[in-house]
Structure 1
Amino acid sequence: MEDAGSYPNPDNPSHKIVDVAAGESHTLLLTEDGSVYCWGRGMFGRLGNGSQKDELFPKKLNFGNPNGTQDSVKIVGIAAGSYHTLALAEDGSVWCWGYNIYGQLGLCEEEDSHDSLVPCLLSRFLELQPHNSSTDPSEAEDKASLEMCTVKAGGMMSLAIDNRGTLWMWGNIPQESKESGISLVSSFTPTPVWDFHGRTVVKVACGNEHVVALVNAIDSHEDEDLLCYSWGYNSHGQLGLGDRQSRLHPEVVKILDEESPWTIYEVACGAFHTALLAHKKKPDATLESMCWTFGLGENGQLGHGTTQSTLFPTPVKELPQSIHLISVDCGLFHTSVVSSTGDVWSWGMEKGLGLCPDANRAETNSGGDALSPLLISCNLHQPIFPGPVKVACGAAHTVVVAQEGHKVWSWGRGRSGVLGNGKEMDSYTPTIVPWPPTIEGLEEEELNSSDGQDKVAEKKPEIIAETDEKLSTALNELKLLQTKLSIMEKYASILHGSIFGKPFNEQDIPVSLGNSGSMDIAKEWENMLEAADDRKLVTMEMFYRDMLTGVKDKLMKRKIKEIIKECLESSEVIK
């Protein structure tokens, strides 16, 4: 079955996806040419398309040009919070849009915390100075060169890492409180985290109430030697520090510190749990990488085979050990990982889908929470996702980019077009997101015109209908093949039973046929005779005699008919 839309061109940078991010009910794709596509729920303007309408298919966003005729900004990074979105431009600037009640856009003061329906430039970094003010010209030049290198978001928080390795935070972030020592406080101004002053923050992730950062060790500037720090609320052990006490300042996760044989290279946060990817510092012939999880586990989102929460990082032992995990992400209550060979595993709420159980759904579709990793198949004929790039988890949906960035799959919650496949229904198996999004018969320029948009709107039902028709045809073909296979199995079983006196089973298939797809019939028959006991040989002999007698009788009858026919024809000639 072919995908809806046109075929991706491997040489076209606008067709190659290099990153994916998912929020509560929306998804973003970043292409090699610096374009951003978004779809899903439009409430609060999180899609950045100028409205709060839902989008059922990937739609390209415009940056820097209000006319939308030509983009003047190249995006190199994307991030999605629950209801807001961030984008990082090639020049180090940050763009943001969506919900801003907690200041997560960093655009304005608390008394004017309006949402933004389109991408807005966060220019305030240029007004801020992470060092003490000075009249030194070199420091003034240093201030002007401040650029962001990474953006991240989660819950109602926003984060960025600059070109000095400094971490910045804004939105609903952990701050000091006189009453309890720590609380989530709205911050409309990006604020540097001074706890890592002099060291480099390499990667960061955040959940609803906690933050986890990977930071270079003090005596090293190698990305391979990273320490894991966590802070924020810790009611479920999501900081991995061995207790449930919240932290205002970052503390190192000691199980994975300098003394550990493991080094961390990826981090992700769910609502109240954390996942890390790590590999051995010294190469191990049998163990390539490991996923470690901790925090809330009541829906199986830790993958440890139980619903218990864990206060320390604990490996997900049921994942194969001879694999290299390249990507991990967490939804609210589920977790997904991808290996370098294209295997995808998920675990957590509602069979690893992240869906909340629905009492109205048929029991056959509901299998409870997945307490251990479940392998997700790409489709019926291909279990892996070829050429994997990255996995992203929304609140209750999962998106995988594969085939070297030229194909997208999604599954889970489908309401408001979250899956990007043109429908608004949940999917329990991976479904193709039409990519590239250019509608057949329309050029890219046409799509930006009002007439083009009308044509797109007209073609969407046709695409959905065509896809449904192809799917229906494929399913009918599959049913036909299954029927043929059933008949063949029945025929083989009857024939095998007649010859050998027992039903046919898989063990009776010759080894040579299973290994190569061909076999020497005479040799295999000889092997069968050698392996058969006296009783089987007698049964086979009786069958052979009966069959031989029947064949001889048939031949005799045909010969008699032929003789009679010849005689009759001869007599006619004589007359």
Structure 2
Amino acid sequence: MEGEGSGGESNPQAREVVLISAGASHSVALLYHLLLGTGEDGQLGHGDAGDRLLPTVIGALVGQDIVSVTCGADHTTAYSESGLQLYSWGWGDFGRLGHGNSSDVFSPQPVKALQGIKIKQIACGDSHCVAVTMEGKVQSWGRNQNGQLGLGTTEDSLLPQKIQAFEGIFVKMVAAGAEHTAAVTEDGDLYGWGWGRYGNLGLGDRDDRLIPEKVSAVDGQKMILVACGWRHTITVSSSSNLYTYGWSKYGQLGHGDFEDFLVPHRLEALCDKSITQISGGWRHSMALTSDGELYGWGWNKFGQVGVGDNVDHCSPVQVKFPEEQKVAQISCGWRHTLAVTERKNIFSWGRGTSGQLGHGNTIDCNTPKIIEILSKDGNACKQMESSTTEPISGKVWVSPSERYAIVPDETVPGQHSGLPRGNGNDVNVPDVKRVRT
């Protein structure tokens, strides 16, 4: 793309963001098949491990007709519709990139095992991925220590494998958490599998499942949407009611307390709202209504709920936007949140330490702040930097425990751990799966 990103275009064209996705500490936006990244490490796809404080064009995917993009914790995927090709990049441990190995990749590479397959949706968890084809088939790959791949084993998979348990079942959509996975079928059935210690599978217990298991019908409702947080799950019924279940130490279930739920429980605070979109962060949740109102709740240490404070919220609170703009799309990262308004403005808030908010700095923000370079009321994407832009210098290495504020191995309810509930300070302990050697 001649002159793209350098401001050298003779007639720069305004573009609009059509899709957003947030990972652990990075963000990606899709502008009419032109992919941008902002955040840190190789998951940005710019060919290096440097941070970018402003959205930057991923040059390797220019002209590839990218129609969807999904962020995992430390990796990213993008799908080319015309090429029938899925691309992935970022950290590669446990085979999460689907390339047949565990190598890191710093620019988009094709997932050859899925070439030629029409993919409807991709879900990325912490270290695993799940893909739904247009025919309703499901394939998974990556880390599998708790059965989150649904293959009947606990062995990691370096390549995509078909989930045989869904043979004869048409899957509509999937969602991936840290170590668990959920799915909704065309018939409105809800499934869960993988790590279930906090009831996040919705099956009434705390056991893991190695293959998908159907969640008992809730109030006779058929489910149409599902999203996973790190250790909690959110689902929406055909009557537009929202249900949550799983871990709630930080109020991320939204039921007015900090208690776990082992089965889907209706969120009464939003029962009079028509919910059209949902997203789960590491320990916070977001829900969008049909009239463009956005509600958030849960962990809020970095302002990721977006309501102007840094206090955890165990019930939904409406997120306000300048000039009462209505929201059209939402995506939760681990500690930050992205939104697109109907006016085609892009907002971000929460943790900004790696530049994942796209504001040109590393400052946290506890209310929605417009990303000027991407927004219609800003630069309208007319002057975008390319992947040739140098990453920021002077980056200080941060240990995994500091970077992710890892949750300790807590005792389950009924046992006394001595840890506070809600707004508690986690003990920072290393997570061995993130220690790079």
TM-score, structure 2 as length reference: 0.79
Structure 1 position 436, deviation (Å): 3.1
Please, which of 89, 96, 100 is the counterpart of residue 97 of structure 1?
89
Query: How many Å separate the matches in 1 of 2:314 and 2:197?
Result: 21
The secondary structure found in structure 1 opposite 2:331 is: strand
C-alpha distance 13-272 of structure 1, shift in aligned 2 (>3 A): farther
Match of 2:289 in 1: 339
Match of 2:169 in 1: 199
- 5+ unaligned residues in a row in structure 2: which ranges? 1-11, 393-437
The secondary structure found in structure 1 opposite 2:286 is: strand
Runs of 4+ in 1 over 6 A off after TM superposition: 437-443
Structure 1 position 13, deviation (Å): 9.1
Higher helix share: 1
Please, which of 150, 153, 172 is the counterpart of residue 124 of structure 2?
153
User: Is 1:409–2:347 an aligned residue pair?
Assistant: yes
Contact map agreement 2:16 2:375 (CA 8 A) in 1: no
Deviations 1:306-356 (A, max 9, x none): 1000011011111250x322211011110011112221111001379458x
Give matches, 1:449-488, under 5 Å. Answer: none
Aligned residue pairs, count: 376
Contact map agreement 1:174 1:248 (CA 8 A) in 2: no
Q: What is the RMSD of the two structures over their aligned residues, measured on CA atoms?
A: 3.0
User: Is 1:36–2:35 an aligned residue pair?
Assistant: yes
Structure 1 position 199, deviation (Å): 2.1
Match of 1:47 in 2: 44
Please, which of 389, 410, 420 is the counterpart of residue 358 of structure 2?
420
Please, which of 263, 279, 285 is the counterpart of residue 238 of structure 2?
279
Query: How many Å separate the matches in 1 of 2:283 and 2:258?
Result: 12
Give matches, 1:485-524, under 5 Å. Answer: none
Structure 1 position 20, deviation (Å): 1.2
Query: How many Å separate the matches in 2 of 1:290 and 1:372?
Result: 15
Structure 1 position 58, deviation (Å): 1.2
- 5+ unaligned residues in a row in structure 1: which ranges? 1-11, 65-70, 127-144, 218-225, 281-288, 356-364, 458-575
Structure 1 position 400, deviation (Å): 0.7
Please, which of 196, 218, 241 is the counterpart of residue 203 of structure 2?
241
Query: How many Å separate the matches in 2 of 1:411 and 1:314?
Result: 28
User: Is 1:385–2:335 an aligned residue pair?
Assistant: no
Deviations 1:200-236 (A, max 9, x none): 111000111111011123xxxxxxxx21111111100
Contact map agreement 2:352 2:364 (CA 8 A) in 1: yes
C-alpha distance 194-373 of structure 1, shift in aligned 2 (>3 A): same
Match of 1:120 in 2: 109
Contact map agreement 1:86 1:152 (CA 8 A) in 2: no
Please, which of 350, 362, 376 is the counterpart of residue 319 of structure 2?
376
C-alpha distance 61-437 of structure 1, shift in aligned 2 (>3 A): farther
Structure 1 position 277, deviation (Å): 1.5
C-alpha distance 237-194 of structure 1, shift in aligned 2 (>3 A): same
Structure 1 position 415, deviation (Å): 0.6
C-alpha distance 415-247 of structure 1, shift in aligned 2 (>3 A): same
Contact map agreement 1:279 1:290 (CA 8 A) in 2: yes
Query: How many Å separate the matches in 2 of 1:309 and 1:426?
Result: 29
Contact map agreement 1:334 1:352 (CA 8 A) in 2: no
C-alpha distance 435-324 of structure 1, shift in aligned 2 (>3 A): farther
Higher strand share: 2
Q: What percentage of residue pairs aligned between the two structures are identical?
A: 29
Structure 1 position 385, deviation (Å): 3.1
Match of 1:475 in 2: none
Query: How many Å separate the matches in 2 of 1:421 and 1:290?
Result: 35
The secondary structure found in structure 1 opposite 2:94 is: coil
Match of 1:397 in 2: 336
Query: How many Å separate the matches in 2 of 1:276 and 1:176?
Result: 21
Please, which of 60, 69, 77 is the counterpart of residue 78 of structure 1?
69
- Structure whose CA Rg is larger: 1
C-alpha distance 239-175 of structure 1, shift in aligned 2 (>3 A): closer
Contact map agreement 1:21 1:79 (CA 8 A) in 2: yes
Match of 1:301 in 2: 252
Contact map agreement 2:304 2:366 (CA 8 A) in 1: no
Contact map agreement 1:29 1:38 (CA 8 A) in 2: yes
Match of 1:523 in 2: none
Contact map agreement 1:92 1:149 (CA 8 A) in 2: no
The secondary structure found in structure 2 opposite 1:268 is: strand
User: Is 1:208–2:178 an aligned residue pair?
Assistant: yes
Match of 1:545 in 2: none
The secondary structure found in structure 2 opposite 1:294 is: strand
Query: How many Å separate the matches in 2 of 1:183 and 1:327?
Result: 32
Match of 2:399 in 1: none
User: Is 1:170–2:115 an aligned residue pair?
Assistant: no
Structure 1 position 165, deviation (Å): 1.4
C-alpha distance 443-391 of structure 1, shift in aligned 2 (>3 A): closer
Match of 2:270 in 1: 319
Match of 1:231 in 2: 193
* Counterpart amino acid of residue 341 in structure 2: A
Deviations 1:435-481 (A, max 9, x none): 3389979976x95597xx59x99xxxxxxxxxxxxxxxxxxxxxxxx
TM-score, structure 1 as length reference: 0.61
Query: How many Å separate the matches in 1 of 2:234 and 2:50?
Result: 33
